[in-house]
Amino acid sequence: MVSRVGCGYRDFGADIGIRAIISGFGAHISGFRALYRDSGTDIGIQAQISGFGRRYRDSNAYIGIRAHISGFRHGYRDSGADIGIQEQISGFEHGYRDSGADIGIQTHISGFRTLYRDSSVDIGIQSIISGFERIYRDSGADIGIQARISGFKRIYRDFGPT
């Protein structure tokens, strides 16, 4: 427990669900809420960052991105194999790139920088949000989470079923 931290981790074979409650914000990290879920070939990420709500979903060749950013609503959907989107919206810069089995998302939102990368069975997420640095990496049955949150360092690692 670090400043009223509650974390639930669930692993049923190929499924792991992570929900973090940090600094007593009730599923919010300094106003941020993040829910990460990986079940086999499906990973869905739902993040609410200082009033911004974004959904990223990748299930094999499908990825749908929906962003609500400061009153702007954007829906991005790729059910083929390739999507490349670069948007500049009221000072916000978003680069979405999917070449075959690889998708990388680099987002600069009001000083927040988030990098999402999925290459086939590997997805690594490095988030630098308002001074918080978090690294999420999933390669097959392995997921490792290294969190540095306001001076606290926590490492979570799952090597799949034992």
Residue-wise pLDDT for 77-86, tens only, equals 333 323 333 3
Boundaries of domain holding 62: 6-158
> How many domains does the chain fold into?
1
pLDDT of residue 45: 37
- Give me the chain's average pLDDT, please: 36
What global pTM score does this model have? 0.11
Question: pLDDT of 115-142, one tens digit each?
Answer: 343 333 233 333 333 333 344 443 333 3
pLDDT of residue 77: 39
Q: Tell me, yes or no, whether 111 lies in a domain.
A: yes
| CA angle at 130 for the pair 122 and 77, rounded to the nearest 5° | 45
Average pLDDT over residues 103-110: 35
Q: Tell me, yes or no, whether 1 lies in a domain.
A: no
List, edge to edge, every strand of the sheet that includes 142-149: 82-89, 92-99, 102-109, 112-119, 122-129, 132-139, 142-149, 152-158
Residue, of 157 and 83, whose pLDDT is higher: 157
Q: Tell me, yes or no, whether 123 lies in a domain.
A: yes
Q: Tell me, yes or no, whether 62 lies in a domain.
A: yes
Average pLDDT over residues 54-62: 36
pLDDT of residue 152: 40
> 110 falls in which pLDDT band (50, 70, 90)?
very low
**What is the rounded CA–CA span in Å between residue 51 and residue 36?**
18
Q: Tell me, yes or no, whether 131 lies in a domain.
A: yes
The 10 Å CB-count burial string (b at 16+, else e) for 39-66 is eeeebebebbbeebebbbbbeeeebbbe
User: Cα-Cα-Cα-Cα dihedral of 79, 81, 116, 6, to 10°?
Assistant: 40
Q: Tell me, yes or no, whether 149 lies in a domain.
A: yes
